[in-house]
């Protein structure tokens, strides 16, 4: 075994928390601040690229000469590659080291961003967005590692995890604030010029301030690439089906069903390969554990709830005729609420009690969605400031404790690190697509229902309806001399109004559904907390003076699922169990 893979003799306070993560040497206050600022910059850089595209799809549609349905391939291609890259990225960090990981993927990210400037049609744009998704998958983890270096003590690292996760929610409101100005600067290339400049600044920052080294060991095995070759296309097909099932409608395009069937086949094949491996990439036993299944479901449901902003509020405001320019103040409020949520999440974070903030956050989001459910055709962004601020605040407050709970189970067994990374990436990427797909499908279904009800009530024999048709026809008196033609235009105007009102009622149903999901999830978590408190047997007390994220390595037990082949060092496993809290029981 070469020296580069030999484990180092770390001081207990410096020992890396997980395989592939950096060590934690003591830093001066000024250096800790620098790490936090660089971590924030890296996180924002990784998120802004996709957000700038997502919030400007209408503008990109014209620039690329694509149909409204075709332009949806741009964000979908990004997610298709981004969602499954953590299968390989974790082992890349473990085998080649953090510095190689940092510099390679940031340079790759810059090159892919530069390639955007030469895109001239939809096909090349999709290919570049797919490459962007692969490179961008590394930046969220890199931002977290930089942010954790800012923690002066082990005990406060969970607070910085919550802060990093909250910062990752900032790119979308930021993109709404100034992306229109970038489009005015250089059309769609203005977006990528800005992103390229931001990427080069980030690359300079990480080359100037390098992460401390961690342990390295041989991690890749040949079968890893077989699993990836099955799992990644399966996830990509699932992403395509979820996106275009709603856009093109589920039963109208046969290829959507074929993509779903192919996704199921490939993902099941990858699971079958992993199930029979001695050292699997995905720990299926851990993944099907009752607690992990509950956390997975909770993360998926909360992503559906958080889709209220992108699918519900933005879709509603565009329905009533507003564009990004007219939503600037709304997203400034959302940005400020997100920052406030980050501050509160950091202040109230307590690894021993993680359910309380989650319940409060979900109730806040449920109330915000319920307020939006009273929207009318006269509702404008000003009437949604409070509700959208509540949703943004609650989303940040909820995600931190939930991620910390899941990470705590990984710290007790680092062999689950890849499974955890894939699980979290899937819930964030696939969960967002699933939320958009489900809510969009529900909106279309409810619009058809409300249209049929309204159409039944619009009879030309009704004096009010007849008067409305006449008012609509009078608007064309100066351009149409034929009374029959004016009447037809009046009927057309009334039909358009009916469709708009049916869509508004459908969006109200979407907001109500989101409020119901958030309230159900809050009730579920609160009920489980009561069950654990009064019914479940008490858990073993934690070792005194230890927290969930500061343990060092020890030899794995003989039945450890992370045992390594002969001649390779074992992966580090913490000496002490995860401390007692309400969820991990």
> CA–CA distance from 564 to each of 415, 418, 555, 557 (Å)?
10, 15, 11, 12
Whether residues 208 and 234 fall in one domain? no
Which two tokens mark 585? 């029981």
Identify the pLDDT of residue 462. 66
Q: Determine the 3-state secondary structure of 280 from DSSP.
A: coil
Identify the pLDDT of residue 385. 92
Buried b (16+ CB within 10 A) or exposed e, 550-577: bbbbeebeeeebbbbeeeeebbbbbebb
Specify if 107 maps to a domain. Answer: yes
Identify the pLDDT of residue 18. 64
The rounded distance, in Å, linking the Cα atoms of 181 and 55 is 13
Identify the pLDDT of residue 274. 79
Specify if 179 maps to a domain. Answer: yes
Specify if 439 maps to a domain. Answer: no
The mean pLDDT values, 10 residues at a time, for the chain of 585 residues are 55 65 79 89 85 82 77 86 78 74 79 78 80 78 83 77 84 85 75 83 86 74 82 89 86 89 90 78 70 78 82 85 85 92 83 79 91 87 90 86 68 59 74 85 89 77 71 68 72 78 90 91 85 68 43 36 37 38 38
Q: Determine the 3-state secondary structure of 475 from DSSP.
A: coil
Query: CB of 419 within 8 A of CB of 283?
Result: yes
Which two tokens mark 565? 């082949």
148: which residues sit within 8 A by CB, 6+ positions away?
22, 24, 39, 157, 160, 161, 164
DSSP state of 537: P
The rounded distance, in Å, linking the Cα atoms of 235 and 350 is 35
Whether residues 150 and 100 fall in one domain? yes
Longest distance between any two alpha carbons in the chain, whole Å = 92
Whether residues 160 and 44 fall in one domain? yes
Helices (H) and strands (E) in the chain, counts: 19, 2
Angle 338-42-238 (CA atoms, 0-180°, nearest 5)?
Answer: 75
The rounded distance, in Å, linking the Cα atoms of 284 and 281 is 9
DSSP string, 27-93: --HHHHHHHHHHHHHHHHHHHHHHHHHHTTHHHHHHHHT--TTGGGHHHHHHHHHHTTTHHHHHHHH
Whether residues 114 and 199 fall in one domain? yes
448: exposed, middle or buried (Cβ count in 10 Å: 0-12, 13-18, 19+): exposed
Domain membership of residue 72 as a residue range: 16-220
Whether residues 117 and 193 fall in one domain? yes
11: which residues sit within 8 A by CB, 6+ positions away?
none
Whether residues 252 and 151 fall in one domain? no
The rounded distance, in Å, linking the Cα atoms of 88 and 421 is 10
Specify if 548 maps to a domain. Answer: no
CATH number at residue 177: 1.20.1250.20
Whether residues 162 and 49 fall in one domain? yes
Number of independent structural domains in the chain? 2
Whether residues 149 and 177 fall in one domain? yes
Whether residues 201 and 229 fall in one domain? no
Whether residues 213 and 244 fall in one domain? no
The size of the chain, in residues, is: 585
Identify the pLDDT of residue 579. 37
pTM: 0.80
Whether residues 229 and 215 fall in one domain? no
Query: CB of 232 within 8 A of CB of 268?
Result: no
């Amino acid at each position: 075994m070469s020296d580069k893979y030999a484990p180092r003799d770390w001081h207990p306070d410096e020992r890396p928390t997980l395989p592939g993560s950096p060590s934690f040497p003591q830093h001066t206050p000024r250096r800790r601040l620098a790490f936090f600022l660089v971590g924030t910059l890296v996180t924002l850089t990784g998120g802004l690229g996709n957000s700038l595209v997502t919030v400007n799809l209408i503008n990109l549609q014209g620039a690329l000469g694509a149909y409204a349905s075709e332009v949806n391939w741009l964000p979908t291609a990004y997610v298709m590659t981004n969602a499954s890259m953590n299968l390989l990225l974790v082992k890349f960090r473990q085998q080649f080291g953090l510095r190689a990981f940092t510099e390679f993927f940031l340079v790759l990210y810059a090159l892919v961003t530069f390639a955007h400037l030469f895109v001239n049609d939809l096909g090349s744009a999709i290919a570049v967005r797919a490459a962007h998704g692969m490179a961008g998958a590394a930046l969220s983890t890199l931002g977290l590692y930089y942010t954790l270096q800012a923690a002066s003590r082990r005990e406060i690292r969970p607070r910085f995890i919550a802060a990093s996760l909250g910062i990752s929610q900032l790119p979308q409101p930021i993109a709404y604030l100034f992306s229109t100005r970038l489009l005015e600067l250089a059309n769609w290339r203005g977006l990528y010029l800005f992103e390229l400049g931001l990427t080069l600044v980030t690359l300079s920052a990480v080359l100037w301030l390098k992460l401390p080294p961690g342990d390295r060991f041989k991690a890749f095995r040949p079968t890893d690439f077989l699993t990836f070759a099955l799992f990644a296309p399966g996830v990509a097909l699932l992403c395509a089906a979820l996106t275009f099932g709603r856009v093109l409608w589920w039963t109208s395009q046969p290829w959507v069903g074929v993509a779903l069937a192919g996704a199921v086949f490939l993902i099941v094949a990858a699971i079958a390969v992993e199930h029979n491996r001695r050292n699997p990439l995905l720990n299926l036993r851990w993944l099907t554990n009752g607690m992990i299944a509950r956390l997975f479901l909770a993360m998926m449901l909360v992503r559906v709830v958080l889709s209220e902003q992108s699918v519900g509020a933005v879709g509603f405001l565009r329905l009533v005729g507003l564009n990004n320019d007219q939503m600037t103040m709304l997203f400034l409020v959302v940005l400020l609420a997100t920052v406030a949520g980050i501050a509160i999440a950091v202040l109230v974070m307590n690894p021993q009690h993680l359910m309380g903030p989650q319940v409060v956050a979900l109730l806040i989001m449920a109330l915000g969605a319920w307020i939006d459910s009273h929207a009318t055709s006269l509702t404008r962004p000003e009437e949604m400031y409070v509700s959208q601020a509540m949703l943004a605040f609650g989303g940040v407050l909820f995600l931190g404790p939930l991620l910390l709970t899941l990470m705590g189970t990984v710290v007790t067994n680092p062999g689950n690190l890849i499974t955890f990374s894939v699980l979290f990436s899937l819930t964030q990427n696939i969960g967002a697509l699933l939320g958009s797909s489900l809510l969009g499908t529900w909106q279309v279904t409810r619009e058809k229902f409300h249209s049929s009800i309204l159409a039944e009530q619009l009879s030309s024999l009704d004096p009010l309806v007849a008067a409305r048709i006449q008012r609509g026809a009078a608007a064309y008196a100066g351009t149409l001399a034929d009374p029959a033609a004016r009447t037809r235009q009046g009927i057309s105007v009334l039909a358009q109004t009916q469709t708009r009102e049916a869509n508004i009622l459908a969006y109200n149903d979407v907001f109500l559904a989101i409020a119901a999901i958030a309230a159900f999830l809050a009730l579920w978590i609160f009920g489980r907390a009561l069950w654990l408190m009064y019914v479940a047997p008490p858990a073993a007390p934690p070792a005194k003076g230890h927290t969930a994220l500061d343990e060092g390595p020890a030899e794995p037990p003989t039945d450890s699922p992370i045992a390594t082949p002969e001649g390779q060092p074992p992966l580090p496993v913490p000496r002490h169990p995860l401390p007692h809290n309400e969820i991990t029981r």
